[in-house]
Amino acid sequence: MQISNEWTTNLPTYYDKVDELQEGETVFVTIKEKLDQQEAIVTINGQEVRARFQNGVPDTDKVVVQIERVTQDTVEVKGLVQKPFAQWTEGNDLAKLEQKLKAQGVILTVEEKATVKNFLEQTKGTTKWATIEVLVAKKLPLKSSYLRAVHEMMNGKPLGESLEKLAEAVRFPLNDKEEGSSSHHDVDLDLPTVMRAEGLSQPYVNEDWFVSLPTQTKDVVVRVVTEKMAQATDEFRKMKNDVGNKLEKSISSLTNGQLRVQQGKLWIEAAIHSLDRAILHGDFMLFTDMGTEKQLLQASSKLAEAKQLFTSGKQKEALILVNEVKKLMETVRFQPSDVKVKHFISEIKEKTNENMPIQKQVASQLERLFKMPAESFSARNTLEYMRRIGLQYENELAQMVEKSESMPQHNLKSLLLQLSESGQKAAIPAENIIANITGQQLASKFDPKSHAQTMVYQIPVMMDNKIETLHVYLNSRNEHEKVDWQNCSVYFVFDTDKYGKVGLFLQMTERNIAITVKTDAKEAEETLRELVESAQENLQQIGYNISKISFTNMTEQMQSMSSMKEENSEKGYDVVV
Q: CB-based contacts of 101: which residues, under 8 Å, 6+ apart?
A: 107, 108, 136
pLDDT tens readout for residues 217-275: 667 677 777 788 888 889 999 999 999 999 999 998 888 766 577 888 889 999 999 99
* Domain ranges for the chain: 18-79, 85-155, 224-331, 444-577
> Which pLDDT score is estimated for 538?
77
Give the C-alpha distances (Å, rounded to integers) separating 409 from 346, 412, 413, 539: 12, 10, 11, 31
Q: What's the pLDDT score for residue 362?
A: 92
Answer yes or no: are the C-beta atoms of 271 and 250 closer than 8 Å. Answer: yes
Q: What is the pLDDT of residues 382-413, one digit of tens each?
A: 888 898 899 988 888 887 777 766 665 678 99
Fold topology of 224-331 = Four Helix Bundle (Hemerythrin (Met), subunit A) (1.20.120)
DSSP 284-310: GGGTB-HHHHHHHHHHHHHHHHHHHHH
pLDDT, residue 177, reads: 54
Residue 136 host element (H or E): helix 127-137
In whole angstroms, what is the distance from residue 447 CA to residue 467 CA? 31
Distances (CA, A) of 530 to 527, 534, 539: 5, 6, 15
What is d(CA 197, CA 227) in angstroms, rounded to the nearest whole number? 8
> 18-79, what's its fold?
OB fold (Dihydrolipoamide Acetyltransferase, E2P) (2.40.50)
What residues in the chain have per-residue pLDDT under 70? 1-22, 25-26, 28, 45-47, 80-92, 176-218, 220, 257-259, 337-339, 342-343, 345-354, 372-377, 404-409, 555-577
Q: Does an H or E element contain 512, and which?
A: strand 512-519
Sign of CA pseudo-dihedral 21, 22, 25, 30? positive
CATH fold group of domain 444-577: Transcription Regulator spoIIAA (3.30.750)
Planar angle of CA 29, 31, 32, nearest 5 degrees = 130
Whether the link from the prior residue into 214 is cis, omega within 30° of 0, is no
Element (H, E) at 235: helix 215-254
Q: Distance between alpha carbon 183 and the CA centroid of its chain, in Å? A: 32
pLDDT, residue 164, reads 94
15 CB neighbour count, 10 Å cutoff: 17
Give DSSP secondary structure letters for 167-181.
HHHTT--SSTT---S
Distance, CA of 301 to CA of 407 (rounded, Å): 34
